[in-house]
Chains A and B, each alone.
Chain A
Amino acid sequence: MGFLTRIWAIAWKDILAELRAREMVLSMFLFGFLVILIFNFGIEPGLREMNLVRPGVFWSAFIFAGMLGLNRSFAGEKENDCLQGLLLCPVDRAEIYVGKFLANCVFTIVMGFFVFIFFAALYNVDVLAVGFPLAVIVVLAAVGFSSVGTLFAAVSVGLKARDVLLAILLFPVMVPVILAAAKSSGVVLDGSGLGSAGLWLGLLLVYDVVFFSISVVTFEYVVEE
Chain B
Amino acid sequence: MTPAPGIDEVSGRIRGTDPAEIEVKGLWKYFGHFPALRGLDLRLGAGRFLTVFGPNGAGKTTLIRVLSTQLIPSEGCVRIGSVDVDTDTTALRRRIGVISHNTFLYSNLSAVENLRFYGRMYGLEDLDTRIGDLLVQVGLKDRQEDLVAAYSRGMQQRLSIARALLHDPDIMFLDEPYTGLDQHASRMLREVLDTLHTGERTLMLTTHNLQQGLEMCDEVAIQVDGRLVYQEEVSRIDQAEFRNTYFECVGKGGGWVS
CA distance A16 to B237 in the complex (A): 52
Which of B68, B102, B106 contacts A17, CB < 8 Å? B106
Set of chain A residues within 8 Å of B100, measured between Cβ atoms = 81, 84
Contact A16 B113 (CB under 8 A): yes
Contact of A85 with B by CB under 8 A: yes
CA distance A168 to B162 in the complex (A): 41
CA distance A85 to B121 in the complex (A): 10
Contact B71 A225 (CB under 8 A): yes
Contact B106 A21 (CB under 8 A): no
CA distance A20 to B106 in the complex (A): 12
- For chain B, residues 76 to 124, give those with C-beta under 8 angstroms from any C-beta of chain A: 90-91, 93-94, 96, 98, 100, 102-109, 113, 117-118, 120-123
Set of chain B residues within 8 Å of A90, measured between Cβ atoms = 90-91, 93-94, 121-123
Q: How many residues of B contact A (CB 8 A)?
A: 30
CA distance A18 to B106 in the complex (A): 11
CA distance A119 to B107 in the complex (A): 35
A76: nearest chain-B partner, CB-CB: B106
- How many residue pairs at the A-B interface have CB separations less than 8 Å? 79
Set of chain A residues within 8 Å of B98, measured between Cβ atoms = 85, 88
Contact B109 A13 (CB under 8 A): yes
Return A178 CB to nearest CB of chain B, in Å. Answer: 32
Set of chain A residues within 8 Å of B137, measured between Cβ atoms = none
Contact B104 A84 (CB under 8 A): yes
Given contacts A9-B121, A17-B106, 5 further A-B contacts (CB under 8 A): A10-B121, A16-B109, A89-B121, A90-B90, A90-B121
26 A-B pairs within 8 Å (CB atoms) are namely: A2-B123, A5-B120, A9-B117, A13-B109, A13-B113, A16-B109, A16-B113, A17-B109, A76-B106, A76-B108, A79-B106, A79-B107, A80-B103, A80-B107, A80-B156, A81-B100, A81-B102, A82-B106, A84-B102, A85-B105, A86-B104, A87-B70, A88-B96, A89-B118, A90-B94, A92-B90
